[in-house]
Chain A
Amino acid sequence: MSSLDKYRGLFVSESEAHLEALAKGVLELEHKPHDDAESAGPTVHEIFRHIHSLKGMAATMGYNDLSTACHELENLMSEVRDRKRVVEKPLVELLLFAGDQMSLFVAAIRDRADPPALSALIQRAQTISGHKAGATPAAKEKDHVIETGQLALKVFIEERSSTPALRAFLAAKRLQTALGPAMQQLPSAEDLKAGTLPGLCLTLVYGGLIDEAKVASAIAGLSDIARYEVQPVVPTAAPEMSQKAREQGRAIRVRTVVLDELLDAAGELLIAHSRVEAALGPAGESEGGRAMEILRQAVRSVHARAMALRTVPFSTVAERYPRVVRDAANNTGKLVELQIVGHELELDRAVLETIDSAIVHLLRNAVDHGIEAPERRGKKANVGTIVLKAQRDRDAIAISIEDDGAGIDEAKLRAEAEKRGIVLPAGKLSPAQIVRLLAMPGFSTKATANQISGRGVGMDAVQDAVDSLGGSIELATEVPLYTRVTLRLPPSIAVLPVLRVQSGAHGYGVPLRRVLATEDLSEGRVQLSGLDGETLDFRGMKVPVYSLARLLDLPPEEERWIVVVDGDVSPVALQVGRVLEVREVVTKKLGPPLNRMRIFDGATVLGDGRPMMILDVVRLIGDYALAPAQDAAVPP
């Protein structure tokens, strides 16, 4: 086993890829007409292929349980492929179960733990393969005709033939006369003329049908043929697949941690460069100045490419979601269809990883609390719809989850809040206030948390994930029509444009995304009202004003500038000493113990080498945001 140990990592990563693809294929299969081999064929074949690959790897690594399980599943899928079995619910359930079990197995291998026994899975597969209730009578009549998506006819020339390539050339000609022109011939006629026939094997690829009787009679008329066989095409199931395969051929696997390190190093380069630039002062047209400019561009280019390496399409996480929704719907007896828009949108992997579990929670929430039971949907279609959409929104990413369910009932929400002793302002709650309420740890309007939304993360965890990325949550809902939650996220978490402000001796960064306006009080365009300068008129709203020095518990100073920021619930004004500049900084997550101070979102190193803290504006003023404006002016 120890000699195989070095392949463990590869085994795990490749197996995970196969299992993910398998899960996707099974869900696809479920939605295809079972009796339509034309449409289900490629999916069946893909599933077969992934199981087959997994089996091979498992056997090589000596994981007998896994390879046995794969073998049983492979048998079942080959029966489906050969139309000796139709896809029925038990088979789909088995494949889903298999995906889960095998994932646990692979995860155990990854974690160097004892893998679980797969006997239950193997037994279930054997039970299903035992009675072939699905065999179609039509399959028997058609036995002489092989029918799937694409088939390869392989003809092997006898070893003793003195002219194998010529024999293959003639075979290709005769077979295509009998069967019609092939989609693909390997080797090509030109190669055969040149005498090339690797493995003494001629391959003709056909879509649709291969009439075996015609093959047999054509072969009978040929000399030096050792044997022939008809197989489903393996690596090129469809034209777009072969394109994908070609691209994969040019790709290498890199551990993601290496990419993170590369991006980190590129970030350090950026910082080091700006320090050198600051130390040298304005260089202008000197030789040094030009060299610095070239260096700046090179450093930026390295950083941009390192960033690009970390982007992955939304589909890498989204492929899992149909299963999430399906399980949630099954558990609650609801009928739900998930539509995903924006599979191809490229996102920073780090952003996706952070937000993935939040999306899962929101999807479960939508099924559990949003979509009604079929009999309670009134005039709406029995089957509820959830639309998950990922799109670019200016320089941010917007991921929205919209369900056509009951909407959020404000009266119920209020009742629940009162039960918990939460005092709410009078009048209609704003969407942002609803989000903040829902995001309070443990807050729920459902009497009993079921196993779906009750487990794992709650709305508070969603809020945490979004906050940690410096994003925001928006909510739109209407009873009894829909609920839409939109997560607005930065496209990447590495480079952040910030507004540098000064308070006392220190500079702080305010994420530019949050900044609505800045005003110089000395120019007299804005007036603070109230004796203590508590509120500000901003676009017709009364906006509470907080002294940054006071919030940070710094010595009081003259604060001549106002920065109006988006505080999620409503705009909030920060009074600061000075507003310095806007700049793009490479942020670093804070390590312990500073990461406990939730008012900071990270830190960066400035050109002069000094660190700068990035403010988490919402946390900073957040505790007052739900309270009515007149009480908010004086922080306790």
Chain B
Amino acid sequence: MARVLIVDDAPFMRGMLRDILLPPDFEVVGEAEHGVEAVEKFRQLKPDLVTMDVVMRDKSGLEAMREIMEADPKAIVVMCSALGHDALVTEALETGAVDFIVKPFRAEDVRAILKRALAQRQS
């Protein structure tokens, strides 16, 4: 069971992801609503995977991802973005994000992408 940290500034999105990421495959171990909190929670919880909203107030998802990658180069970060932020997504992919999901998303797609991302880093 993969331990997941959800980072998103919208409570609605966090709730939705928590409803999607269920046992036996996933366990949501924490949530963060901005970048600074995301980095703190990552150090504290050491999750297997982080879903990271691209656009947030305070620290952007991109900066937060970079700090997380610095803390743990093997961290698995999957970017979470609304349509139309392609440039940010490609930048994140170039800097180390493993994959991305695009809102609005379908539950099975999200689970499939996160499972692949976990398999990707293990191999």
- Partner-binding segment picked from B25-33, B40-48, B67-75, B113-121: B113-121
**CB within 8 Å of B: which of A212-237?**
217, 220-223
- The verdict on A195 contacting chain B, using a C-beta distance below 8 Å, is yes
Cβ contact within 8 Å between B90 and A169: yes
Name the B residues within 8 Å of A189 (CB-CB): 90
- Partner-binding segment picked from A145-153, A160-168, A409-417: A160-168
Name the A residues within 8 Å of B116 (CB-CB): 220-223
Name the B residues within 8 Å of A193 (CB-CB): 86-87, 90
* CB of B89 to closest CB in A, whole Å: 6
Cβ contact within 8 Å between B83 and A162: yes
- The verdict on B93 contacting chain A, using a C-beta distance below 8 Å, is yes
Report how far A169 CA is from B99 CA in the complex, Å: 11
Cβ contact within 8 Å between A163 and B93: no
Report how far A131 CA is from B103 CA in the complex, Å: 57
Name the B residues within 8 Å of A162 (CB-CB): 83, 102
Name the A residues within 8 Å of B109 (CB-CB): 223
Majority SS of interface residues in chain A?
helix
Report how far A221 CA is from B90 CA in the complex, Å: 17
Total interface residues in chain A, CB < 8 Å: 16
Report how far A162 CA is from B113 CA in the complex, Å: 14
Q: Which residue of B lies closest to A165 (CB)?
A: B86
Set B86, B87, B119: member contacting A163, Cβ < 8 A: B86
Set A165, A166, A173, A221: member contacting B119, Cβ < 8 A: A221
**CB within 8 Å of A: which of B77-121?**
83, 86-87, 89-90, 93-94, 99-100, 102, 109, 112-113, 116, 119-120
Cβ contact within 8 Å between A166 and B90: yes
Cβ contact within 8 Å between A223 and B112: yes
Name the A residues within 8 Å of B113 (CB-CB): 223
Set A192, A195, A217, A223: member contacting B99, Cβ < 8 A: A223
Name the B residues within 8 Å of A223 (CB-CB): 99, 109, 112-113, 116
Name the A residues within 8 Å of B119 (CB-CB): 221
Q: Which residue of A lies closest to B91 (CB)?
A: A193
Cβ contact within 8 Å between B87 and A166: no
Cβ contact within 8 Å between B99 and A170: yes
Given contacts A170-B93, A221-B120, A222-B116, contact A163 B83 (CB under 8 A): yes
What size tier do the contact residues of chain B reach? 10 to 19
Report how far A220 CA is from B100 CA in the complex, Å: 15
Cβ contact within 8 Å between A166 and B89: yes
Report how far A223 CA is from B123 CA in the complex, Å: 17
Given contacts A221-B116, A223-B112, contact A170 B100 (CB under 8 A): yes
Name the B residues within 8 Å of A217 (CB-CB): 123
Name the A residues within 8 Å of B87 (CB-CB): 193
Q: Which residue of B lies closest to A223 (CB)?
A: B113
Q: Which residue of B lies closest to A224 (CB)?
A: B109
Report how far A173 CA is from B90 CA in the complex, Å: 10
Q: Which residue of A lies closest to B97 (CB)?
A: A170
Given contacts A193-B86, A217-B123, A222-B116, contact A169 B93 (CB under 8 A): yes
* CB of B84 to closest CB in A, whole Å: 10
Q: Which residue of B lies closest to A217 (CB)?
A: B123
Q: Which residue of A lies closest to B100 (CB)?
A: A166
Report how far A192 CA is from B93 CA in the complex, Å: 13
Report how far A195 CA is from B87 CA in the complex, Å: 9
Report how far A233 CA is from B116 CA in the complex, Å: 31
Report how far A193 CA is from B90 CA in the complex, Å: 7
Q: Which residue of A lies closest to B89 (CB)?
A: A166
Q: Which residue of A lies closest to B121 (CB)?
A: A221
**CB within 8 Å of A: which of B13-57?**
none
Given contacts A163-B102, A222-B116, A223-B116, contact A173 B93 (CB under 8 A): yes
Set A173, A195, A220: member contacting B86, Cβ < 8 A: A195
* CB of B98 to closest CB in A, whole Å: 9
When each residue 163-200 of chain A gets 1 if its CB lies under 8 Å from chain B and 0 otherwise, what string results? 10110011001000000000000000100110100000
Q: Which residue of B lies closest to A174 (CB)?
A: B120
Report how far A37 CA is from B121 CA in the complex, Å: 37
Q: Which residue of A lies closest to B120 (CB)?
A: A221
Report how far A170 CA is from B123 CA in the complex, Å: 17
* Most B Cβ at <10 Å: residue of A173, A193, A221: A221
Name the B residues within 8 Å of A169 (CB-CB): 90, 93
* CB of B90 to closest CB in A, whole Å: 5
* Most A Cβ at <10 Å: residue of B83, B90, B102, B112: B90
Report how far A180 CA is from B94 CA in the complex, Å: 16
Report how far A597 CA is from B54 CA in the complex, Å: 91
Name the B residues within 8 Å of A170 (CB-CB): 93, 99-100
* CB of A581 to closest CB in B, whole Å: 76
Report how far A319 CA is from B66 CA in the complex, Å: 61
Q: Which residue of B lies closest to A162 (CB)?
A: B102
Report how far A165 CA is from B86 CA in the complex, Å: 9
* CB of B94 to closest CB in A, whole Å: 8
* CB of B62 to closest CB in A, whole Å: 15
* CB of A170 to closest CB in B, whole Å: 6
Report how far A173 CA is from B94 CA in the complex, Å: 8
Report how far A192 CA is from B91 CA in the complex, Å: 12
Q: Which residue of B lies closest to A161 (CB)?
A: B102
Name the B residues within 8 Å of A222 (CB-CB): 116
* CB of B4 to closest CB in A, whole Å: 18
Report how far A223 CA is from B90 CA in the complex, Å: 15
* CB of A636 to closest CB in B, whole Å: 94
Q: Which residue of A lies closest to B113 (CB)?
A: A223
Report how far A193 CA is from B85 CA in the complex, Å: 10
Report how far A223 CA is from B79 CA in the complex, Å: 14
Name the A residues within 8 Å of B120 (CB-CB): 221
Report how far A276 CA is from B99 CA in the complex, Å: 79
Name the A residues within 8 Å of B112 (CB-CB): 223
Q: Which residue of A lies closest to B116 (CB)?
A: A221
Q: Which residue of B lies closest to A167 (CB)?
A: B100
* CB of A191 to closest CB in B, whole Å: 11
Name the A residues within 8 Å of B94 (CB-CB): 173
Q: Which residue of A lies closest to B103 (CB)?
A: A162
Given contacts A222-B116, A223-B112, contact A166 B86 (CB under 8 A): yes
Report how far A217 CA is from B116 CA in the complex, Å: 11
Report how far A493 CA is from B86 CA in the complex, Å: 64
The 10 A-B pairs of least Cβ separation, nearest first, read A221-B120, A193-B90, A221-B116, A223-B113, A163-B102, A162-B102, A169-B90, A166-B86, A166-B89, A170-B93
Q: What are 29 contact pairs spanning A and B, CB under 8 A?
A: A162-B102, A163-B86, A163-B89, A163-B102, A166-B86, A166-B89, A166-B100, A169-B93, A170-B93, A170-B99, A170-B100, A173-B93, A173-B94, A189-B90, A192-B90, A193-B86, A193-B87, A195-B86, A217-B123, A220-B116, A221-B116, A221-B119, A221-B120, A221-B123, A222-B116, A223-B99, A223-B109, A223-B112, A223-B116
Taking beta carbons and an 8 Å cutoff, which residues of A are in contact with B? 162-163, 165-166, 169-170, 173, 189, 192-193, 195, 217, 220-223
> In the complex, given contacts A170-B99, A220-B116, A223-B109, what are 4 additional A-B residue pairs having Cβ atoms less than 8 angstroms apart?
A162-B83, A169-B93, A173-B94, A223-B113
